[in-house]
Amino acid sequence: MKTFSNIRFKKATALKFQEFSRKFFKTHTEALQTMLDFFHYNEISPLERFGPTARTLENLIKKRFNAMAAIMKEMDNRGITPTKAMMELLFEHAPQQNKQQKSPSSNKRDAPVKDDAFFKSAFETIELQKENTVMKQNLEQLQQQFMETLEKIEVTKSSFGKSKLYLNMKLEDYTQLKESLKTI
């Protein structure tokens, strides 16, 4: 014979539990045991949050679509091809939430896209990528000039003392190279 025990609950809580129990289980005991097993098996506390709700996920998806549209417009305007950093920024990192409350007028579609921290970081990434590309091109040019200069150096052996390096280059080429390196 099964034994039962009485537990005291507030009336509103007991009514809620009874509704829930009748909806999903045959008995109140089965409902309570299943809930306890769930928390014990998953090693979670009933007080902790599981993450974003459907409403916050919907807002996040809307922000991502707006961000993607803004980045695509910016790429069209500037003629930039997407980079790995831009794609990671768009698809892997969640946008930062503004701590200020937005006014109702800020919800218009005409509101500036660059107000959101996520958009600002996306545009900064685009600018940094452009600077990086220019710097890489400059580095390649410098390497090429340096290699050409090294090829013009000859070693001359002296019968007295140390060997010397001789730069086999016209004076005009040398001054032009020197001036181009000063402007960098």
What does the DSSP assignment read for the chain? ----------HHHHHHHHHHHHHH-SSHHHHHHHHHHHHHHTT--TTS--S--HHHHHHHHHHHHHHHHHHHHHHHHHT----HHHHHHHHTSPPPPPSSPPPGGGGSTTS-GGGSHHHHHHHHHHHHHHHHHHHHHHHHHHHHHHHHHHHTEEEE--SSS--EEEE---HHHHHHHHHHHHT-
- For the chain, what's the residue count? 184
Residue 112's pLDDT is 46
Q: So what's the pLDDT on residue 100?
A: 45
Model pLDDT, residue 44: 81
pTM over 0.75: no
In the chain, the amino acid numbered 88 is E
- Specify the pLDDT at position 24: 92
**Structure confidence at residue 164 (pLDDT):** 84
Successive 10-residue mean pLDDT values, the chain, 184 residues: 84 93 92 90 79 76 81 74 65 50 44 58 80 84 85 82 83 85 76
- How many CB atoms are closer than 10 A to CB 71? 22
Task: Report domain extents, the chain.
Answer: 11-41
164 - beta bridge partners? 156
Q: What is the pLDDT of residue 110?
A: 43
pLDDT recorded at residue 17: 92
What is the pLDDT at residue 106? Answer: 44
Contact between 80 and 71 (Cβ < 8 Å): no
